[in-house]
Chain A
Amino acid sequence: MAEAQSIDEHAAVREREGWVTGRLVLFCLASVGITVVAGLVQVSFGEYSMTFVEAWKAVFNPTVIFSLDAWSAFLFGTELPDMSTGSVVVWNLRLPRVFVGIIAGATLAVSGAIFQAVTRNELASPFILGVSSGAGFAILATLVVFSGLSHLLPLVAALGGTVAFVVVYMIAWKGGTSPVRLVLAGVIVNMIFQSLQQGLFFFADDLGVVQTAIAWLTGSLTGTGWGEVRIAIVPAIIAIGIALAGSRQLNVLMLGETTARSLGMQVERVRFFLSAVAILAASVAIAVAGIVSFFGLVVPHIVRNTLGGDYRRLMVGCLFAGPALMVTADVGARLALSGTQIPVGIVTGLIGGPYFLYLMRKQQSMGEL
């Protein structure tokens, strides 16, 4: 009795801190702020230029926001109701691109974060593990050869990504695997799939398809609209929801395989399941935005450096930082060079690559988490 009492008192004295810290909240708010500002810049500029105020008004135009017809047009592809030119430009041309950026950013970041925990390797990302190139090849094949299947792009991408991931894992696996083995296997499988992708170009009939395909492989949000949002939104929500719910599993996985097993986790099953979620998430992004390089690798690093390694925080952080960075990068891609748009994958590659090199120089060791 006395013992029980002392424990109760003790518990009262040392109230457990929740995992939601002030830092996390601040980080998320800042990310939302960046996303909104970048989004506003994106909707304001372009051939039909508006001031910030006009753009802001068009975005929050109540006749659009509260119009069921408009939303049904956006989300289900029905007839678009009449609205002002400004509203059409903002709501039908520019905003959906921002939304696609948000979805792609969030899913890629979450996917990278999961892969890094599942492989316990901070070099892991959908790109490194071959998922991107596998999915890219599958999508290219669909565009060039089986163009009838284009509404199933996320599924096709997921299939290609899964095949590539399994191949990488099989090559790297020898009674366990190390970060370096995994990366090497990934590089090799990537090269094979890239050759296959280039090979496919020979089967393309017209130049338009080739151009689309190239934009695809470099990762681009150019020309994305509500159609892409419609394709991506449901699988993205599913993948992100499971990822958030699974963050505690990822934390336990980070304790090491033996400990996780001792705690009653079916390690192989959880790994497999969460990898599948990560592949789905990456495939969503690849299906609508192509292969945006370095994104899934770098964003979890940025979040980890800011918020620490606890996956409950890391996952939420990625969910907010991913969209902020993707939308910002896309602003650069669309508006940096006047007169022409460059694929967003070039921007992320040019910024993410050097940033990653900087991390490598700064950190003593890189590899195992």
Chain B
Amino acid sequence: MAHQHHSATEEQDHDQEQAQEYEHEHDHKQITDSDGVTVESALVGDGLELSYPASEETIVDCARLDIPEAAVTALVGPNGSGKSTLLKSLSNHLEPDAGTVQIHGEDLDSFSQKELARELGVLSQENDSLGSITVEDLVYHGRYPHRGFFDSVSEEDHRAVNRAIELAGIDHICDTELGQLSGGQKQLAWIAMVLAQDTDVLLLDEPTTFLDIHHQFRVLETIRQLNEQKGVTVAVILHDISQAARFADYLVAIRDGELYDWGPPEEVVTEQLLADVFGVEATVKYEPELQVLPKQALPDNRL
């Protein structure tokens, strides 16, 4: 596994260092950031090989993936690189052909479905459009894993829902039916539902795609607040690499189902990465802050 990682990164010394660091981490089941500070991982994917039941083809082959505790990690990569697939296996929606996923050091398989839903919240990319449910009712569904078959709504449920609604900033549309909302408001409602689940780890699949810029920021700010106030671990797939670079604590770059690079944005985002992973020629500025300026698409010789 490790040599694949090398081949993807050997063009850059910087990356090579990381690859070595990576091997080192592998032995100790722990990762360190560039300053040598140990980072605990909330979620670890180990030796994952993923494919869909209908096809033979392995879509993701990833030696090790870490989602650091209490940080925001963005998964980036081009369309079809396997980000969503990877996220599905991290959330137990897809059984890996090989490898394991651990949350806080325990195998996902050792949890019952409900127990897992109390640890791990997931928002998938496509949510069925329900017309006639109010935002508040939707958010209350987030309490599902906390309630038994015959349990009524508890005081704690009320509190969690109110907190989620407030955090997502959607008090004013609480009683509105989902069908009457804009795409951005809908997305905030779905996010509030996942927040009401009250989990330590949150996985979000492209929560900002198709939203206008205002709602993109609203969504990202909500996630950031949640992370800062409650120390929630977030793994989020973002379409826009420059947005991801500005927003996340860590980036995971994925190419063709393999982990290309991992680390803080300033280290991961390079002109080389943009060429290799995204197939674009771009300038990257590191001062005063990280900025990606894409220029043109490179000839498509990877396929």
Contact = CB atoms under 8 A, between A and B. Distances in A.
A and B held together in a complex: yes
Interface of A: 7, 10-11, 14, 16-17, 175, 245, 249, 251-252, 254-256, 258-259, 261-266, 308-310
Contacts of B104: none
Contacts of B142: 263
B130 A263 contact: no
B113 A265 contact: yes
B144 A16 contact: no
Contacts of B127: 255-256, 259
Contact of B133 (A16, A175, A266, A310): A310
Contacts of B136: 16-17
Nearest to A263: B144
B114 interface: yes
B137 to A, nearest CB: 7
The 6 closest A-B pairs by CB, nearest first: A264-B117, A264-B145, A256-B128, A264-B114, A262-B122, A263-B144
Given A7-B159, A262-B194, 8 more contacts: A14-B162, A16-B158, A255-B128, A259-B127, A261-B93, A265-B144, A309-B132, A310-B137
A310 B132 contact: yes
B203 to A, nearest CB: 9
Contacts of B113: 261, 264-266
Contact of B197 (A261, A263, A266): A263
B145 A11 contact: no
Interface of B: 53-54, 91, 93, 113-118, 121-124, 127-128, 130-133, 136-138, 141-142, 144-145, 149-150, 158-159, 162-163, 166, 171, 174-175, 194, 197
A16 B155 CA distance: 12
A255 B118 contact: no
Contacts of A14: 162, 171, 174
Nearest to A249: B149
A100 B84 CA distance: 53
B149 to A, nearest CB: 7
A229 B160 CA distance: 46
Nearest to B131: A309
Contacts of A259: 124, 127-128
12 contacts: A7-B159, A11-B162, A17-B175, A255-B128, A255-B130, A261-B93, A262-B122, A262-B123, A264-B116, A264-B117, A265-B144, A310-B132
Given A259-B128, A308-B132, A7 B162 contact: yes
Given A258-B124, A310-B133, A251 B141 contact: yes
B140 to A, nearest CB: 8
Given A261-B113, A309-B130, A175 B53 contact: yes
A254 B133 CA distance: 10
Contacts of A175: 53-54
A264 B117 CA distance: 5
Contacts of A309: 130-133
B163 A262 contact: no
Contacts of A310: 132-133, 137
Contact of B145 (A10, A16, A263): A263
Contacts of A11: 158-159, 162
Contacts of A262: 91, 93, 117, 121-124, 194
Contact of A255 (B116, B141, B174, B175): B141
Contacts of A308: 132
A256 B190 CA distance: 13
A254 B130 contact: yes
Nearest to B115: A264
A357 to B, nearest CB: 22
Given A7-B166, A10-B171, A263 B141 contact: yes
Contacts of B149: 245, 249
A6 to B, nearest CB: 8
B144 A264 contact: yes
A252 B117 CA distance: 14
A308 B141 CA distance: 17
A266 B145 CA distance: 11
B238 to A, nearest CB: 19
Contacts of B133: 251, 254, 309-310
Contacts of A263: 117, 141-142, 144-145, 197
A259 B127 CA distance: 8
Nearest to A18: B153
B120 to A, nearest CB: 8
B194 to A, nearest CB: 8
Contacts of B91: 262
Contacts of B171: 10, 14
Given A255-B130, A309-B133, A310-B137, A264 B118 contact: yes
Contacts of B115: 264
Given A259-B127, A309-B130, A10 B162 contact: yes
A179 to B, nearest CB: 13
Nearest to A266: B113
Contacts of A252: 141, 144
Nearest to B120: A262
A258 B150 CA distance: 23
Nearest to B123: A262
A256 B133 CA distance: 13
Contacts of A264: 113-118, 144-145
A258 B158 contact: no
A288 to B, nearest CB: 29
A103 B127 CA distance: 37
B123 to A, nearest CB: 8
Nearest to A264: B117
A16 to B, nearest CB: 7
Given A10-B166, A11-B158, A264-B144, A258 B117 contact: no
A265 B128 CA distance: 17
A362 to B, nearest CB: 15
A263 B120 CA distance: 9
Contacts of B174: 14
A249 B197 CA distance: 16
